[in-house]
Each structure stands twice: as structure tokens, then as C-alpha cells.
Amino acid sequence: MKFASFFAGIGGFDLGFQQAGLTPVFHCEIDPYCQQILKRHWPEVPLHGDITTLEIDAIPEADVWAAGWPCQDLSHANSQREGLSGARSGLFYRITDLIRQATPRWIVLENVSGLLSADGGEAFEAVIDELQKIGYMGTWFSCNTLSAGLPHNRERIFFIGSYQSESAYKFYLDGGQLLRSDTPRASSGTGRKTRSNFQKEFISDAPLLVQRRGGFGYTKARSYSPTIRAQTGKHQGGHTDRPILCGQKLDMDRVRETDGVPRGLDGRRGRFIGNAVSPPIAKFIGQMVMAIEFGEITLEEASSQLALV
């Protein structure tokens, strides 16, 4: 199966889908630094910069369209968010207009959990209504990167839709690995709080080293990395050097030598990571779509692989 990636960022969807067996055929991304990364890793894939100038004839035929459209007007981090009427998050209607013209068999859309409450809940309803209006049926779910085995607290909303078909409903036949709770539970017989296996190795009482705009500092360990925060208004947001830095030795060489990203650890790199779709989650979604389309692996096998990341 072929896929096209819109608002591609640094290629989180692309890496995960490719690992699932899908083939990238098109990128659309406006950020010049993200473009460098995409060109480095997918030099043969056509890349268009501005989605507002993108014409439908320039997009190769693809079975799956993936888009993590801009979240700035929907995010809880923005105290003055404008919802889907905002100039950035309102680009949702641009991608759905292109989807309406091309009618790919599958769409996979992603955004922040703030979508659920933006515009008093009307933004979320508007997204669902628009997808139904252009012919897509399917499911939506909230998923945390914790569910992908990454010790990083980052919740996102995903929409999986199939064109004039109930195929996407099969996605929910076995989504337990994605949708399981990460809340500590009491272990039978001991009364002690336990977490799922993928988190156990990260539980620690040691301080967690984090990078901040003004330098490095320590924060109280939470057994997984804090959410990456952007700087908004007068808020001085902190972020880790990568989403899975927990109890690990800080490797400055790794920090400085990041493929496709300029040297140094700065707010730009934190923004790239924070905006990116987690590749293990994208891989899971891609495998589920492939399982529904071709039956090459079962839905149970695709779901179980998420726990092995």
C-alpha cells in the first residue's frame, strides 16, 4: 500500500508506516528544517512546501493519507486558542478539501487532546461532521505514547477512516494494547501499586535530568518523562533532550549529532519531537490497516506487537 503524508513534520507517521510495510509516495511540509530531515531520509519522495498552494494533480495516487494537522489553536498550552477557526488549526479544512477531491481509501488524522474541549467541544464535533460529510466512516481514539512502551506522557487523538466503507470499524476489534490504562493498580496479595511491564524498568526515585531553555536542571522523577512543553507567551517551558530520557546518562554527543537537525539542543528540536507522531503508534496503525486490507497479519498480532516495542 502507498501513503501520502501531510503536515509531515520530521516524519513520525512516515517512519512508523514504512516499518509497517507501507510505501511513502508524497510529503507536504512547510517548515524548512523539517524539510531537511524529510529530504535526508526520503530523498526520492516528492516534497511540497505549502498546503495552501497544493493542487490535487500534484499528489500521487495513494491508498492512505496521513495528516497531523497544526495543533496550536487547539492545544491546552495556548490560553488564547481559537479552535478550528484559527489560521493554523483551521488548515484542517484545507486537508479535508484535498481528501474530498482525491478520495483515498484510508485516512489517518492526528491532533492534540485539546481538540476534545476546544470551542466548548464543538471543534471535535465539527471534525467528525466534516469527515462524515466527505464520505468517511470509522473510529477515533485517544492514545498516550505510554501505551507504545515509551516512558513519555503525550496524549494524542487519532481518527481512522475508510471511504464509503465500514472497513475502519474493524480497527476496534482488538485495540486493547493501544487503549489500555496506564494508571498504577494494586497487585493482588501485596497491596502494592504496580504498572504494566513496559514501565517497570523506568521507575526510579532518582532526579530526572531535563534540558531547559536557560540550561540544564533537575526535576522530581515520575517514572516517565514529562510532556515536552513549548514556550507560549510569558511561560518559560521546559523540555527533555528527548522523550525517553529517564534515568539515563546524558549523552552530549547524541544531543549534538542528530541526523538532519542542526547542531545543538534548542527549542526548535524540542518542538520537532513534541509535534511528531510517535513512530511505534504509527506502525501499529499501519499494521492494523494492512491486516484489514490483506490479512497478512491478524489484528491480534498487530496489537500484540505494540507491547513488544
Q: Check pLDDT > 80 for residue 39.
A: yes
pLDDT tens digits along 193-214: 444 433 343 344 444 444 444 4
Positions marked catalytic: 71
Q: What is the pLDDT of residue 306?
A: 52
Q: Quickly count: other Cβ atoms within 10 Å of residue 225's Cβ.
A: 28
Angle subtended at Cα 53 by Cα 160 and Cα 98, rounded to the nearest 5 degrees: 30
Quick one: average pLDDT of 97-123?
A: 92
> 87-91, 93-97, 182-186 — which is least confidently predicted?
182-186
8 Å CB contact between 31 and 54: no
What number of residues does the chain have?
309
Quick one: average pLDDT of 144-161?
A: 79
Q: What is the pLDDT of residue 149?
A: 67
8 Å CB contact between 72 and 80: no
Is this model's pTM higher than 0.85 or not?
no
Quick one: average pLDDT of 90-96?
A: 95
Quick one: average pLDDT of 220-234?
A: 45
Of the two residues 308 and 80, the one the predictor is more confident about is 80
Domains of the chain as residue ranges with CATH: 2-179+278-306 (3.40.50.150), 188-274 (no CATH)
